[in-house]
Amino acid sequence: MSSTDAIEIVSNFILDAPPGEVVVTPSSPRRFSSLTHPYKNSFKTYSQELSPAIEKYNKEQLVTTKLTGSSSLVLVSEFNELGDGRFFDVESQSSFAFDHVSQKASNIQSYVFKSQHSGLIKSLLKPLGTHVLEHYPSYPAYGVYPTSSDSTIALLITGARFSPSNYWNGRWRSVYTFDPSTNELSGEIKVDVHYYEDGNVRLLTTNTLEAVEIPGGSAVEVVKMIAKKEKEYQEKLNDAFGQLSEGAFKSLRRQLPITRQKVDWDKIGSYRLGQQVGLFPTHEHS
Amino acid sequence: MASTDPFDSSLDLLRRLNPKNTTPNLSSLLSLVPDLTEDLLSSVDQPLLLARCAKSSREYLLCDYNRDGDSYRSPWSNEYTPALTDATFPSERLRKMEIAANQAFDVYRELYYEGGVSSVYFWNLDDGFAGVVLLKKSVSSGPKSTGSWDSIHVFEAIDGPRQCHYKLTSTVILNMVSSDEGLGEMDLSGNMTRQVESDLPVEDTPAGSERDHISNIGKLVEEMELKMRNLLQEVYFGKAKDVVADLRSVSALSQTSRDRAVHQEMITSMSKR
């Protein structure tokens, strides 16, 4: 196996990682390097070869960080990427360098973005911020950016919770696109939860918001629709847990046999399988 | 916990990656560390595959324990498919007990799963025997909601003077997918593992020991599945749901903390009386 193939395999592992569990600490890259030690890459070149995957992961996950001097979080995504490892934030009117392994920002500079929709983008920040702080209790972050064509606006929301000592982590991501020329809002919500105490359980959800028209297309109305759709979705998701528990889960395996008693293993040989399973010990049918 | 041992790293990695992808991930991992092939194949639980026994027309389950090379042994016919020379079989006496165990767990399966497939495989040890009890059931309520349950109970039965020491390691792989207009896609999948050890009496006669072993193993498996079903219910439909609530709150957080403050004030003023 070539080292290129090995890097590709490990890169795919990174992209599949649950929230908060990818290469962040100095020890974890060595976890990967021990898997490919036959290729004798030094730690430095190794982490360099994996950096495209780590970068892609962080941008997809909307990973957050703090800018010095600020108490709120900024996120990294494909929408606020400047190239050369730099990202920008609209609210603080700044750009920053982002180290994808340590997830730390540095070299903050002032930055003013350019867009034909800059007025709308700026006016979306306040209502969106209010919504996010009212509904995302842990690591709340949001961003509004022009998309690459500058014809539409991207609105991003994320919240995350990390509890590795309790063996679980989770992240919520909302990514919306608003088209001011049609006043249409569309988007996607993704939830990712991982529980790993004596096991490995993963919840992965995707909800697609098909284009919905925002009459008037004002910032306040856009955020009102986002809030409405997120509430509806979360309520449906909550219901879905109960539906699965009462439905598919129950029909996989009963809690007890129809006799409402545990199996009598001493008499297991005399159970007769048939229409009336569990009525034991039955005599041969006459 | 910062172990750099490739085996530990591999297990840790597989516990973090999407459990739905265990089989392809294991395959990729084995291409990276081929020396670990046998160790990983015997340590990592994968969803059970089904095959049909040519001789008996009954279905049986495939796992590493009834595999020899690329062939699998049917618990019904005791034959390997594809045919294999110099294959591994349980001893004649153990095979007799294996047949009885398969019959017993067939009943167990019907009582609890009302469908599905079961298979039991035994193999000899120097000081006793070992085996695996497998159960698998799949359901679908329409094309949009599916679920599957795989039980893999691996045990050792080590002979003692009047008792046998049983050690059971059980894994349940539970996958549920729900897809619906309003909800979108929801995939709740994974596995959990538990262990138990127990010393239980076994009569010192061929018929008696066979009957007691099956009864002991049956009770241990049944008790374990009871515990695990409750655990899975708690984790899948309790814990996972709670974590989502920790990520986003349906009600406004300021309202929640106002309510909490009022509530707290009421409690304080009541306790003053």
Q: Note the pLDDT tens digit of each residue in A39-70.
A: 333 444 566 788 899 899 999 999 999 999 88
The confidence score (pLDDT) of residue A37 equals 37
Record the tokens describing residue B224, joined without a space: 């374990």
The confidence score (pLDDT) of residue A272 equals 59
Tell me the residue type at A203: L
pLDDT band at A274 (very low <50, low <70, confident <90, very high): low
Pick from A202, A208, A243, A273 the residue to mutate for testing the B interface (most B CBs within 10 Å): A202
Record the tokens describing residue A168, joined without a space: 């679980």
**Interface touch A241/B15, C-beta < 8 Å:** no
A286 touching B, CB under 8 A?
no
A104 touching B, CB under 8 A?
no
A17 touching B, CB under 8 A?
yes
State percent of chain B over pLDDT 90: 77
Reported as a single tens digit per residue, the pLDDT across A102-151 is: 899 999 999 999 999 999 999 999 999 999 999 999 999 999 999 999 99
CA A126, CA A133: separation in Å to the nearest integer?
Answer: 11
Reported as a single tens digit per residue, the pLDDT across B12-27 is: 889 999 999 999 999 9
**Interface touch A254/B113, C-beta < 8 Å:** yes
pLDDT band at A36 (very low <50, low <70, confident <90, very high): very low
| Average pLDDT value for residue range B244-273 | 89
Reported as a single tens digit per residue, the pLDDT across B150-176 is: 999 999 999 988 899 999 999 999 999
CA A38, CA B36: separation in Å to the nearest integer?
Answer: 13
CA B225, CA B87: separation in Å to the nearest integer?
Answer: 32
In what helix (H) or strand (E) does residue A45 lie, and over which residues does it extend? helix A43-61
For residue A278, give the chain B residue with the closest CA: B111
The confidence score (pLDDT) of residue A263 equals 95
Instruction: Examine the pLDDT at B211 and tell me if it is beyond 70.
Output: yes
Tell me the residue type at A174: S
Alpha carbon of B260: minimum distance to chain A alpha carbons (Å): 15
Give the CA dihedral A210, A216, A220, A221, nearest 10 degrees: -40
**Interface touch B244/A172, C-beta < 8 Å:** yes
Q: How far is CA A179 from the centre of its chain?
A: 24
- Choice between B189 and B180, residue whose per-residue pLDDT is larger: B189
Q: How far is CA B244 from the centre of its chain?
A: 26
The confidence score (pLDDT) of residue B139 equals 95
Nearest to B194 among A198, A203, A208 (CB): A198
**Interface touch A201/B236, C-beta < 8 Å:** yes
CA distances from B20 to A170, A249, B161, B191 (A): 18, 17, 44, 10
Neighbour count for residue B36 (Cβ, 10 Å)? 18
Q: How far is CA A280 from the centre of its chain?
A: 51
pLDDT band at B4 (very low <50, low <70, confident <90, very high): low
Alpha carbon of B94: minimum distance to chain A alpha carbons (Å): 18
Neighbour count for residue A44 (Cβ, 10 Å)? 9
- Strand order of the β-sheet with B67-68 is B67-68, B71-73, B80-81
CA B90, CA B121: separation in Å to the nearest integer?
Answer: 9
- Choice between B140 and A176, residue whose per-residue pLDDT is larger: A176
CA A97, CA B97: separation in Å to the nearest integer?
Answer: 67
Q: Indicate the length of chain A as a whole number.
A: 286
CA A79, CA A143: separation in Å to the nearest integer?
Answer: 9
* B151 bridge partner residues: B135, B172
Record the tokens describing residue A206, joined without a space: 């995707």
Q: Which residues of A touch B9 (CB under 8 A)?
A: 31-32, 34-35
CA B254, CA B271: separation in Å to the nearest integer?
Answer: 26
| Average pLDDT value for residue range A92-103 | 92
Instruction: Examine the pLDDT at A34 and tell me if it is beyond 70.
Output: no
- Choice between B266 and A271, residue whose per-residue pLDDT is larger: B266
Nearest to B241 among A137, A230, A241 (CB): A241
The confidence score (pLDDT) of residue A45 equals 53
The confidence score (pLDDT) of residue B110 equals 96
Average pLDDT, chain A: 87
pLDDT band at A2 (very low <50, low <70, confident <90, very high): confident
The confidence score (pLDDT) of residue B184 equals 95
Alpha carbon of B250: minimum distance to chain A alpha carbons (Å): 6
The confidence score (pLDDT) of residue B210 equals 93
Reported as a single tens digit per residue, the pLDDT across B39-88 is: 999 899 999 999 999 999 999 999 999 999 999 999 999 999 999 999 99
Give yes or no for a contact between B233 and A249, defined as CB atoms under 8 angstroms apart.
Answer: yes
Query: Residue B76 has what DSSP assignment?
Result: T
Reported as a single tens digit per residue, the pLDDT across B81-130 is: 999 999 999 999 999 999 999 999 999 999 999 999 999 999 999 999 99
When mean pLDDT is compared across A276-285, B52-61, B130-139, the lowest value belongs to A276-285
The confidence score (pLDDT) of residue A26 equals 38
The confidence score (pLDDT) of residue B159 equals 93
Pick from A201, A254, A280 the residue to mutate for testing the B interface (most B CBs within 10 Å): A201
In what helix (H) or strand (E) does residue A143 lie, and over which residues does it extend? strand A141-146
CA distances from A250 to A235, A243, B185 (A): 22, 10, 20
Helix, strand, coil percent values for chain A (each to nearest 5): 35, 30, 35
In what helix (H) or strand (E) does residue A199 lie, and over which residues does it extend? strand A199-213
